[in-house]
Amino acid sequence: MSEQLAIYGGTPSVDVSKVAPWPPVNEIDEKLVLETLRGRVQTRGEQNLAFEKEFREWNGNDFALFTNSGTAALHMCLVGCGIGAGDHVLVTAYSWSSSATCILHHDAIPIFVDIDPETFLMDPDKIEAAITPRTKAIIVVQLHGLCNDMDKINAIAKKHNLKVIEDACQAHGAMYKGKKAGTLGDCAAFSFNQNKCLSCGEGGMFVTNSQEIFDQAAKLWSFGETARPEQRRDYHAYALGWMYRNNEITAAYGRAQLSKYDFYFNTLRNNGEYLLKNLAGTPNLMLPYEPEWATHNWYNFNLRVDFAKMGVTDPAEQVKFRDAVAAALCDEGIVASVWQRFILPEMTVFAAKNAYGMGYPWSIPGADEGVDYSLEKFPNALEYSRKHISIVHTLRAPNGLDIAEQVRQGIAKVFNNLDKIDPEKIQAIVEARRKK
């Protein structure tokens, strides 16, 4: 393809005027939200309770609590599983920061595990080597909407008497061997942030099938009390608690979006499969991998630049080139981004081992023994952080295969013209726009 790249003045591949915004809002959302807005209860009430019931029935869980964020739901998972000060919790080296800061929220210590280079998820074959005498749980991040090999992980957890927590914040509807994310461990957390495949602006859901885990998590969720607001409360704090509840208007919005989610999911599945099939063989493009045991929800459709084939070995040059490619894709009308530039052990809060001051919680006697965040321990995560580009909202419902085809054209156009990608020139173009 010799067509001029849009970032250099060519015609964009995607007609952005035809791309619907995310999330889609229609009369279903308006009806529920306006009815709730005009109601008497704006805190926790019938909309919260209905959303929890509908979500647990849709996902297949016995218990659910609507929270104000996925991060809150993750913190609840730690508490529900009895994780406390100085305990160790395994987590992937590459994810959003909340996947590991939730461990710090309850004074425990994250132990990072490198990723599998094809799935981008925690490598199950590296888990046992990371287990310490203080390890109490594994947080399995179903990253980008893809479930990990849960049979293998659960077998390791059972062998070592560890709890399994699913960070399913990006994995709504994703499946492992026909079972939904959020039903594959002891408990799980979902996020409903606007970026997510199921959104109500901000919010989250804690889910479990264990009454004991639910009761412990619920105390954290509401001031350390043993009764929820809809129950008979004595307003007595029985444990350290936060205020992680959400409100009625947001719950109503969540219910409306959930009622349409199967359409969202199927649309995104179709668009992702279309790109996988029709971008195969594109030069220097590495496409995402969907194992035979998994059903991806394509929260992020991740592209990778094949630097090995290109002969680009310097990490700094890889980052600059990847960023230029991402900018070129954006100018083609594709919502493309570098989702996470740093692996978690690189982030200051972990690298400095100082979350609360005075080195805490690593300064808990014995807690830091054997804890090593040296970056050379995570080569796959580091490599991935330098070469991936995430395609997000452009593939979401109601955008169908017509838009997916335009996205395909834009990706193919950029990757067939990688020889024309000049990182310095593109950086100058981007900087000039920022200054306007």
Say if CB 134 and CB 367 are below 8 A apart: yes
User: Closest Cα partner for 172 from 268, 248, 246?
Assistant: 268
Q: In what order do the strands lie in the sheet with 163-167?
A: 63-67, 204-208, 187-191, 163-167, 135-141, 88-92, 109-113
Alpha-carbon distance 26 to 257, whole Å?
A: 10
Alpha-carbon distance 397 to 277, whole Å?
A: 19
For 2, other C-beta atoms within 10 Å of its C-beta total 7
Tell how far CA 339 is from the center of its chain: 10
**Which positions ≥6 away from 80 have C-beta within 8 Å?**
186, 187, 206, 208, 210, 213, 214, 216, 217, 220
In sign, the C-alpha dihedral spanning 180, 245, 41, 24 is negative
**Residues catalogued as catalytic:** 196
Cis check for the bond before 361: say yes or no (omega within 30 of 0). Answer: yes
In sign, the C-alpha dihedral spanning 135, 343, 394, 406 is negative
Give the residue carrying structure tokens 């200054």: 435
Give the residue carrying structure tokens 């084939």: 309
Say if CB 64 and CB 206 are below 8 A apart: yes
Alpha-carbon distance 104 to 361, whole Å?
A: 7
CA distance to 163, 271, 422, per residue, from 431 (Å):
47, 32, 14
Alpha-carbon distance 263 to 286, whole Å?
A: 28
Alpha-carbon distance 170 to 283, whole Å?
A: 29
